[in-house]
A and B are shown apart, each in its own frame.
Chain A
Amino acid sequence: MKKIKTTLVVLGLGLLAVLIFSFSQNFAPQQKNAEREGLVTGVSAWALDFNQVFDSSQNR
């Protein structure tokens, strides 16, 4: 009986640790990224300058 109790306590503590870990991950600090001041072509055409997407030769 005592062994079962100990096992249950250990399992309970383990479960608690998992819950605390996932909880802390959910509330991990998040940040959006401030736009950098340098201008780049290519991917930035997707992200920043939608006028450029009409240029099919953009990636070459």
Chain B
Amino acid sequence: MQAANSVSRLTDLLNEFYFNVKVQNLTRATTLYKQLEDSYDEFEANHQLQTQFNVVLFGYALLNVDFEKAQDLLEKIEPVKQLLDDQWCYRFYLFKGLHSIICNSDFNDARTSFEVAEQRLGSIDDEIERAEYDYKMAFMYYHLEDTLHSVQYITKALETFRDKLEYNKKIASCELILGLNSIDMKQYEQAEEQFYRVLDYANQIGDNSLKSNALHNLGLLYASQNKASAAVHWLVKSLSARKEVHYITAYLLSRENYKLGNKEDASEWLQKGIESCNNYGNNEYLVRFKLLEAYYENYGTSNFKTVYEEGIAYFHKEKLWRYVDEYSEQLASYYRQQELYKEAAEYYALASNARNKICQSEGLN
């Protein structure tokens, strides 16, 4: 009887721990983690509970940005995952998908995990949890540039959230994804309306993070239409609503200022962006900043060629084919202008090869 009570108490604590990890309430999650750790002896006697505990710890490690611990836990859970029932299996694969996104920026791998989670979605009674799953899928498909699936999932999530008054912020977040998909579909007016709605809502509730994201996306919307002045206007507003400089906003600001011929401003944002990349440990954008600078400051010099060749080699090594395509094409075009046709052909071939890799990868998944 006492053992049954103990299992029931631990199960309740585990469910509460999971919920708080999921909604990213780090303070409450840490309190629950400490309580559960005190009961570790009881877990050791029950392998199923221990595995469930490890699943939530896995998510907690991701939330704490402790990737080494997350990797350790993943390796611990994998061989015993058959101990998990459908509901816990769903939770495990949900975190595994997030792990692929956060640690490896690997959205294809994330998709595989989320699809396994989806097979267990039927065991989840909570319709909000199902809607949140749809939201994550929409986010992932946006990153995979699969607009159709992203819109399908976000529409499904919106249908659930729209009925619930207390999920207004989630509705606004859905609108952000819808707006970004509208940009991808070149539905610029629709995107503008969607971002303005989010902006109005963010102003109403005084949410600076949401406001900054909406403003950034408005900047991206105008940049996508080659309206550099308007883009700069919204991007600057986005950063003034944020405590720190976001490297993507700084990248767009630098690029759009270069397009306008405002070299001084462009260079200033470039330096700020590099600083932000160093703070976040983001190499991808660090290289992009160097390439941007080389393109606008040193075009035609030997430094330009060196920076571009090194940058392309880096993206090739990292298998970031979209960037290999984009920058190889730019370098090839430069060589063609210089009438260096052999080099131009080499980089056009590299760009073409990168596009094939993207197509092959899409076809295989």
Per the bound structure, the CA–CA distance linking A58 and B62 in Å amounts to 16
Chain B residue with the shortest CB-CB distance to A36: B143
Given contacts A47-B101, A51-B244, contact A31 B319 (CB under 8 A): yes
B173 CB-CB contact with A under 8 Å? yes
**Closest Cβ–Cβ distance, residue B187 to chain A (whole Å):** 14
* Residues of chain B contacted by A35 (CB below 8 angstroms): 105, 143, 248, 284-285
Cross-chain contact A39 with B26 (CB below 8 angstroms): no
Interchain CB contact (< 8 A) of B24 among A29, A36, A46: A46
**Closest Cβ–Cβ distance, residue B242 to chain A (whole Å):** 9
**Closest Cβ–Cβ distance, residue B248 to chain A (whole Å):** 6
Per the bound structure, the CA–CA distance linking A56 and B63 in Å amounts to 12
Binds A, one of B41-49, B118-126, B213-221: B213-221
* Residues of chain B contacted by A53 (CB below 8 angstroms): 24, 26, 63
Cross-chain contact B101 with A43 (CB below 8 angstroms): yes
* Residues of chain B contacted by A4 (CB below 8 angstroms): none
**Closest Cβ–Cβ distance, residue B284 to chain A (whole Å):** 6
- Tell me if B's interface is mostly helix, strand, loop or mixed: helix
- Count how many chain A residues have C-beta atoms less than 8 Å from C-beta atoms of the other chain: 32
Interchain CB contact (< 8 A) of A30 among B65, B108, B144, B251: B108
* Residues of chain B contacted by A29 (CB below 8 angstroms): 357, 360-361, 364
> Of residues 1 to 45 in A, which have CB atoms within 8 Å of B's CB atoms?
28-45
Chain B residue with the shortest CB-CB distance to A45: B24
Cross-chain contact A46 with B285 (CB below 8 angstroms): no
Chain A residue with the shortest CB-CB distance to B285: A35
Interchain CB contact (< 8 A) of B319 among A30, A45, A56, A60: A30
Per the bound structure, the CA–CA distance linking A27 and B332 in Å amounts to 28
Given contacts A31-B357, A45-B24, A46-B63, contact A40 B105 (CB under 8 A): no
B142 CB-CB contact with A under 8 Å? yes
Chain B residue with the shortest CB-CB distance to A38: B180
Chain B residue with the shortest CB-CB distance to A33: B107
Q: Which residues of B does A touch, CB under 8 Å?
A: 20, 22-28, 62-63, 65, 98, 101-102, 104-108, 132, 135-136, 139-140, 142-145, 166-167, 169-170, 173, 176-177, 180, 183, 209-210, 212-213, 216-217, 220, 243-244, 246, 248-249, 251-252, 284-285, 318-323, 357-358, 360-361, 364
List 24 A-B residue pairs with CB atoms under 8 Å apart, sorted by A's residue number.
Answer: A29-B357, A32-B105, A33-B105, A35-B284, A36-B143, A38-B142, A38-B216, A39-B212, A39-B246, A40-B177, A41-B210, A42-B135, A42-B139, A42-B170, A42-B173, A43-B136, A43-B139, A45-B24, A46-B102, A51-B243, A53-B26, A59-B132, A60-B23, A60-B170
